[in-house]
């Protein structure tokens, strides 16, 4: 059965979905959506994603949108391929650590990193004259640095966000983390004050799954 992924070629959240497909070695057809033509707002796309966004995954009659939901669906459906990425539900301690890490990635990192990326890069993409709100960016940078100090403490005690094994929240963070460094022009995730975060980040960005999508998502016919 063909797996279809719809998204913007360079989009952070489309790359998030594609990373998990690569990790699980699931071949897929990539259907590029052209945001300059607002294809994501056309009825044929909103029939798949009612909020008119990307990415969207179709797999054997099942349609999933929201990048974290897509990544989780892929990890669950293809549980017998590649790395597990989600602990077994029967292991309550690992499940608790995993669910916590999922929220940490979203609420402690993504919220602040996305604020910076949207303000510094995305709004300018749509309006080159946009004047960024520097107070908002400065506040987000200060907050994010404090959050990353906590990441440093966690990652000095374990290799990945949910323990010593890589799981979905580690992978989920990669595309926005890379975009964040591009937006700031500094290595906020590779900083000598946070050596454990730096090592974790370097391990993540060296993964073949990230290397495969970093310059844009492409169809993979087979592995």
Q: Which is nearer to ligand GSH, 125 or 186 (CB)?
A: 125
Is 11 a binder of ligand GSH (CB under 6 A)?
yes
CA of 166: how far to CAs of 7, 9, 127, 161, in Å? Answer: 25, 26, 38, 8
8 interacts with ligand GSH by CB under 6 A:
yes
Rank residues 40 and 115 by Cβ distance to ligand GSH and give the closer one.
40
Q: Indicate the residue among 94 and 210 with the shorter CB distance to ligand GSH.
A: 210
As a whole number of angstroms, the distance between CA 115 and CA 119 comes to 6
Q: Using CA atoms, how far apart are residues 12 and 18, in angstroms rounded to an integer?
A: 10
**Where in 62-81 is the site for ligand GSH (CB under 6 A)?**
66-68
Q: In this complex, which beta carbon is closest to ligand GSH, that of residue 68 or of residue 120?
A: 68
> Does residue 12 touch ligand GSH according to CB under 6 A?
yes
What residues numbered 19-58 form the site for ligand GSH, per CB under 6 A? 40, 52-55
Q: Counting contacts by CB under 6 A, is residue 84 touching ligand GSH?
A: no
Interacting residues with ligand GSH (CB under 6 A): 8, 11-13, 40, 52-55, 66-68
């Amino acid at each position: 059965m063909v797996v279809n992924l719809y998204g913007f070629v360079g989009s952070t959240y489309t790359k998030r979905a594609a990373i998990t497909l690569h990790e699980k070695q699931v071949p897929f057809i990539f259907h590029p959506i052209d945001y300059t033509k607002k294809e994501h707002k056309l009825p044929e796309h909103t029939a798949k994603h009612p909020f008119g966004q990307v990415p969207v995954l179709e797999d054997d009659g099942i349609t999933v949108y929201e990048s974290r939901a897509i990544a989780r669906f892929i990890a669950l459906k293809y549980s017998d391929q590649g790395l597990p990425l989600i602990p077994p539900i029967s292991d309550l301690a690992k499940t608790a650590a995993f669910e916590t890490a999922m929220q940490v990635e979203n609420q402690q990192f993504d919220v602040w990193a996305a604020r910076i990326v949207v303000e510094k890069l995305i709004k300018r993409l749509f309006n080159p004259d946009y004047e960024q709100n520097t107070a908002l960016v400065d506040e987000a940078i200060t907050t994010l640095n404090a959050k990353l100090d906590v990441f440093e403490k966690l990652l000095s005690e374990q290799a990945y966000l949910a323990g010593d094994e890589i799981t979905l929240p580690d992978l989920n963070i990669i595309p926005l983390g890379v975009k964040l460094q591009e937006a700031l022009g500094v290595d906020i995730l590779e900083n000598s004050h946070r050596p454990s975060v730096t090592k974790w980040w370097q391990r993540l960005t060296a993964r073949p799954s990230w290397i495969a999508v970093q310059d844009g998502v492409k169809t993979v016919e087979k592995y």
